[in-house]
């Protein structure tokens, strides 16, 4: 997937002026790429448009103007995108209760290895993930995953963690969005 280029990034003041129009383009794209699994898991597949939005929002919130800081944001967020034939996503564990969340993030430390994408023929692939999002005893509630799909669009996403199994079939619209991202 083509990364966001520096030339595509606006200064935060110009972005603020155009933010409403940009959000009207980005929010539907994000909605098509947001996939809920079970009671507390969400995949948000990213593409250049959604990553550019994240960068612009960070620059706006932090009032980033220094070139080296802008380039750092580009590098950080572009790393979430999948490479050639891959789908990259943020995987979020959404548990409101802080005590329950802390307990589950400890119990589910092996969760990244137990996530999969499934294809029409029933084959499954596990994603690679950022090991820095997992400590010795606890998992971060946000994971950065890259599915090596070799340009194929999955039909389902799931996980088979001891004590918690879930699977969701992607809608036609979700599959088409991912197909567009792989093109």
User: Can you tell me the distance from the alpha carbon of 144 to that of 179, in angstroms, rounded to the nearest whole number?
Assistant: 20
pLDDT of residue 162: 86
User: Can you tell me the distance from the alpha carbon of 70 to that of 76, in angstroms, rounded to the nearest whole number?
Assistant: 10
pLDDT of residue 86: 93
Structure tokens at 75: 């590098």
DSSP state of 29: H
pLDDT of residue 24: 97
Burial status of residue 12 (CB atoms within 10 A of its CB: 0-12, 13-18, 19 or more): buried
User: Can you tell me the distance from the alpha carbon of 74 to that of 9, in angstroms, rounded to the nearest whole number?
Assistant: 9
**181, 45 in Cβ contact below 8 A?**
yes
Phi, psi of 74 (to 5 degrees): -60, -50
pLDDT of residue 17: 96
Coil, helix or strand at residue 168: strand
User: Can you tell me the distance from the alpha carbon of 127 to that of 97, in angstroms, rounded to the nearest whole number?
Assistant: 28
Of the candidates 113, 118, 114, 111, the one whose C-alpha atom is nearest the C-alpha of residue 93 is: 111
Find the Cα–Cα–Cα–Cα dihedral 159, 119, 80, 24, rounded to 10°: -100
pLDDT of residue 134: 85
**pLDDT tens across 62-80, in order?**
999 999 999 999 999 999 9
Positions of the chain with pLDDT under 50? none
């Amino acid at each position: 997937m083509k990364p966001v280029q520096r030339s595509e990034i606006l200064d935060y003041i110009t972005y603020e002026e155009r933010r409403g129009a940009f959000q009207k383009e980005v929010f539907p794209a994000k909605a098509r790429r947001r996939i809920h699994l079970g009671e507390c898991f969400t995949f948000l597949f990213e593409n250049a448009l959604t990553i550019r939005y994240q960068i612009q929002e960070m620059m706006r919130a932090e009032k980033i103007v220094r070139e080296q800081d802008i380039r750092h944001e580009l590098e950080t967020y572009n790393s979430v995108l999948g490479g050639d034939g891959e789908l990259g996503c943020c995987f979020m564990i959404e548990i409101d209760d802080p005590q329950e969340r802390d307990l589950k993030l400890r119990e589910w430390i092996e969760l990244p290895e137990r996530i999969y994408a499934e294809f029409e023929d029933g084959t499954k692939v596990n994603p690679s993930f950022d090991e820095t999002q997992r400590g010795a005893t606890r998992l971060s509630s946000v994971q950065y995953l890259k599915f090596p799909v070799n340009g194929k669009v999955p039909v389902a996403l799931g996980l088979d963690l001891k004590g918690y199994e879930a699977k969701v079939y992607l809608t036609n619209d979700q599959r088409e969005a991912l197909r567009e991202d792989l093109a």
